[in-house]
Structure 1
Amino acid sequence: MPDYNLVADVGATNARFALTQADVPDLLDIKILPCADYPSLEAAVSAYLSSTNATGLISKACIAIAGTVHLPQFSLANNHWRVNKAKVDGALGVQALWVNDFTAQAWAMSKIATADLCLVKQGQAVAKGNRLVMGPGTGIGVAGLVAHDHGWLPVMGEGGHVGFAPTNKLQVQVLEYMWGKYEHVSTERLLSGSGMMDLYHAVAHIKSMPPSLSSPADILQQAQLASPDELAYQALRTFCEMLGNAVANEALAFGAVGGVYLTGGILPRMQQFLLSSDFIQSFTNKGRTSTYLQQIPIYLCIAEQPGLNGAVIALDHESRRHNVTA
C-alpha cells in the first residue's frame, strides 16, 4: 500500500484537506469540510481519512491553521473549535508539522505561477526585495517573505490585529461606531468576512440607510449587480478604500519593495469590483512615502488552493531542513 502525506488548510469556516505522494506535488483527493459540521479538528481529520481510505497510511502531515500553532492547545478566533494538537496527531497517526495558515499562504506565494496571479497595480519590483502577503478571509492574514539563499522564507506576525487607522471623515465615523461595540477596533474587525457585517451596519448608521442584508455573501452579491443595492455598494467601496490603506501600512512596515500579494477567500470573489475601486489610490495616498508605494506592484492570487499548496511547500522545506541537519 502506498504511503501518503496529508496537508490541511484550516480556517474558521472550512477545513480543506488533500493527500500527496512522495516527490509528486499534485494534490489528490481534495475535500472541503465545513467546520460547523464537526465538533473538533480531530473529528474532521478522521472523517477525511475515512472518506479517502487513507487511515493508517499517512507518513507525514502539515496542518496550516488560523491559530497560535506554537501552543499545545489553542482556540480559533472565529469558530467553536478548541484544538488539541496531540489529539489531532493521534487521529493522523503521525506528529504533524503545524504552521499558521498565513505562513502557508506565504509559502504558496513564494512559488506562485504567473498564470495564477492577476495584476492589480503595476510597479517595479526589486528582485530580492521583501514581499508582503496579505488578504481577507473569515479573518485577515498578514505575512512577509524574505529572500533566503535561492528561495524565500515566511515571516509571520499578527498584523490583522493592529489598530484600525481611518483616513477620512467617513472612516473616522466608522471607527466611532465600532468603539461603541468593541474596546479595541483592529483591522480585522472591519476588513474581513467576520467584520464585513459590522462595516455594513456602520455605513448604514452613518448614512441613515436601512440595512436589509444579513450575510457577507449577500453584501458581495448585491454590491456587484448591474443595479446594485446602494448600501451594499457603498459598504464594499468603503471596504476597498480601507483595505488599500491597511495594505499600504503593512507594505511600509515590511519594506515590501519586492511586491504585494493579495490572497484570501474574499477578493477573488470581487475581483472586478476591487480593480475599479479606489483601492490603488488609497494604497498610494501616503504623503511623503507615496512615491515609495507607487513603485510597488500588487498582485491578486486567483489560484484555487493556495493554502494546501503552501502546506506542501512547508512540509518539503521542513523535510529538507532535517535532511541537512541530520
Structure 2
Amino acid sequence: MAEAGTALVGHVGRKRMRFALTDAAGQVRRDSVRSFTADTTVSISGAIMDFLRDARPDAPPRRSAFAVAGLPRGETVSITRGRWYVSRSGLRGMLGHAPLILNDFEAEAWAFHGADVRAEERFAGDEPSLRRAGTYCVLGMTSGLGVSVLSRDAAGAVRVLATEAGHGGFIAVSEELARLAAEIFPGRYPVVAEDLLSAPGLVRLYETLARRRGTAPRWTSAEDITRAMAADPLAGEACTWLCRAFWSYAGQLTIIYGAWDGVIVTGGVAAALRPLLRLAEMAPLFAGSGKYARLLASVPRVYAALDDGELAGAAEALRHLG
C-alpha cells in the first residue's frame, strides 16, 4: 500500500468535474469538495488551478489521482461524449508529479472497497461484504453504463478491473428483448449496451414504445420519464422494459467476470428505478435458462450508493496504487 498523505483527487465527468483534498490518512476532506460545470469551465488544468487557489492547501499536493469518464489509456484521455480531455504530460508539468488516472467506475469499485457498504435495496440474497474474499461486479446506470469488477483473495489482496463492458454488445436473454433492441436501433450490429441501458437509452425506449402505440411522446428526458412511471402507463412500460434489459445484461456479465459473490447496482437511473428493479419478474431474467441459472439465482444483488464515490475511490486507489 502506498504511503497515505495529503493529496489532490478529482472526478472528470461528461458535464462537470469535482476536486477535493485528502487528509493525512488519505481520506477525502468533505469540506474541500468543489464542483465545476461544462458551462463555465474551459479546461481541466484551469479548474484545478482555480480549485487549489480556493482550497489553499498548506503545501502543493505531491500526489494526485483523477477518475475520468473515459478509457484511461495513452497520453491524452478523452472524456466520453464530452469536450474535455486529460493530458498526462500537461498535468505532470503543472502539478510537478505524475498523477494516477483511472476510469470513473474503477474508482467506484475502489470506493465500495474502502467503505462499509450499506445496501439501500436488496434484490436477492444477503448483503455482500466486499471485505470478504470473492469477486464482485459494480454496475451503474447513469448517463452511461459503468462496469467494474473488484476481487479480494484469501490473503486480503484487492484488485479492481476497469472494463468498458458498457460499450460491449447488448446480450438479450429473451426473444422479446432482442426484438425490442433491434427496433430501437435498426441496422445496428451489435446494439451497444450503454446505448440502451442508460438515461439516453430510456428516452429512446420510451419513444419507440410511443411509436408502437401511435402516440406522441409526452416526456423528453429520463428524469421526466422515471418521475411519471407510476402515473403514466407508457412511462411505466418503458421503465419496466429498461429494467428487464438491465437484469438480462447484468446476468451475462456476472457469468463473464465470475462475479458469483455479489452484484452492486448504483447510479442515478438505477436509483429512480428501484421499485421496478426489485419486481419478482426480474429475477428469471438475471438467472436466464442456461447451465448456471441456479447459481446465478443465488448471487447477492443490491442497490447501494456512496456520496462522492468517484472522489472517495480515487483517494482509495491512490492509497493502494499511487
- TM-score normalised by structure 2 residue count: 0.87
1:203 aligns with 2:209: yes
Return the alpha-carbon distance in structure 1 between the equivalents of residues 191 and 312 of structure 2: 32
Return the alpha-carbon distance in structure 2 between the equivalents of residues 305 and 280 of structure 1: 30
Return the alpha-carbon distance in structure 1 between the equivalents of residues 319 and 260 of structure 2: 27
Return the alpha-carbon distance in structure 1 between the equivalents of residues 40 and 195 of structure 2: 25
Counterpart in the other structure of 2:224: 218
Counterpart in the other structure of 1:175: 181
CA RMSD of aligned residues (A): 2.5
Among 61, 81, 84, the alignment partner of 2:87 is 84
Return the alpha-carbon distance in structure 2 between the equivalents of residues 294 and 11 of structure 1: 34
Instruction: Flag the 1:56–1:128 CA change in 2: closer, same or farther, 3 A.
Output: closer
Give, as a single letter, the amino acid of the residue that structure 2 aligns with 1:120.
F
What secondary structure does 2:101 align onto?
strand
Deviation of 1:124 after TM superposition, in Å, equals 8.9
Partners of 1:105 and 1:263 within 8 A in 2: no
Return the alpha-carbon distance in structure 1 between the equivalents of residues 127 and 316 of structure 2: 27
Deviation of 1:242 after TM superposition, in Å, equals 0.5
Could you list the runs of 5+ residues in structure 1 that have no partner in the other structure? Answer: 320-326
Counterpart in the other structure of 1:12: 14
C-alpha offsets along residues 208-246 of structure 1, whole Å, 9 cap, x if unaligned?
A: 33212111111121224xxx2222211111111110011
Deviation of 1:158 after TM superposition, in Å, equals 1.3
C-alpha offsets along residues 32-73 of structure 1, whole Å, 9 cap, x if unaligned?
A: 332343222223323332332349622211001121212111
Return the alpha-carbon distance in structure 1 between the equivalents of residues 218 and 19 of structure 2: 36
Return the alpha-carbon distance in structure 2 between the equivalents of residues 255 and 67 of structure 1: 24
Counterpart in the other structure of 1:39: 42
Partners of 2:26 and 2:316 within 8 A in 1: no
C-alpha offsets along residues 249-291 of structure 1, whole Å, 9 cap, x if unaligned?
A: 1001111111111122322233334323743332123333210
State how 1:2-151 maps to structure 2 within 5 Å. Answer: 4-28=6-30, 29-54=32-57, 57-115=60-118, 117-123=120-126, 127-148=132-153, 149-151=155-157
Which 10-residue stretch deviates more, 214-223 or 96-105? 214-223
Return the alpha-carbon distance in structure 2 between the equivalents of residues 217 and 223 of structure 1: 10
Return the alpha-carbon distance in structure 2 between the equivalents of residues 304 and 278 of structure 1: 30
Could you list the runs of 5+ residues in structure 2 that have no partner in the other structure? Answer: none
Instruction: Flag the 1:250–1:303 CA change in 2: closer, same or farther, 3 A.
Output: same
Instruction: Flag the 1:192–1:209 CA change in 2: closer, same or farther, 3 A.
Output: same
Which 10-residue stretch deviates more, 173-182 or 237-246? 173-182
What secondary structure does 1:21 align onto?
coil
Among 279, 282, 285, the alignment partner of 2:285 is 282
Partners of 1:11 and 1:66 within 8 A in 2: yes
Return the alpha-carbon distance in structure 2 between the equivalents of residues 286 and 124 of structure 1: 24
What secondary structure does 2:35 align onto?
strand
What secondary structure does 2:261 align onto?
coil
Counterpart in the other structure of 2:309: 306
- TM-score normalised by structure 1 residue count: 0.86
Instruction: Flag the 1:278–1:70 CA change in 2: closer, same or farther, 3 A.
Output: same
Partners of 1:13 and 1:138 within 8 A in 2: no
Deviation of 1:303 after TM superposition, in Å, equals 1.9
What secondary structure does 2:29 align onto?
strand
Among 245, 249, 274, the alignment partner of 1:271 is 274
Deviation of 1:136 after TM superposition, in Å, equals 1.3
Partners of 1:240 and 1:277 within 8 A in 2: no
Instruction: Flag the 1:134–1:188 CA change in 2: closer, same or farther, 3 A.
Output: same
Give, as a single letter, the amino acid of the residue that structure 2 aligns with 1:63.
F
Instruction: Flag the 1:259–1:250 CA change in 2: closer, same or farther, 3 A.
Output: same
What secondary structure does 2:294 align onto?
helix
Give, as a single letter, the amino acid of the residue that structure 1 aligns with 2:91.
V
Task: Report the count of equivalent residues.
Answer: 314
Partners of 2:182 and 2:188 within 8 A in 1: no
Deviation of 1:184 after TM superposition, in Å, equals 4.1
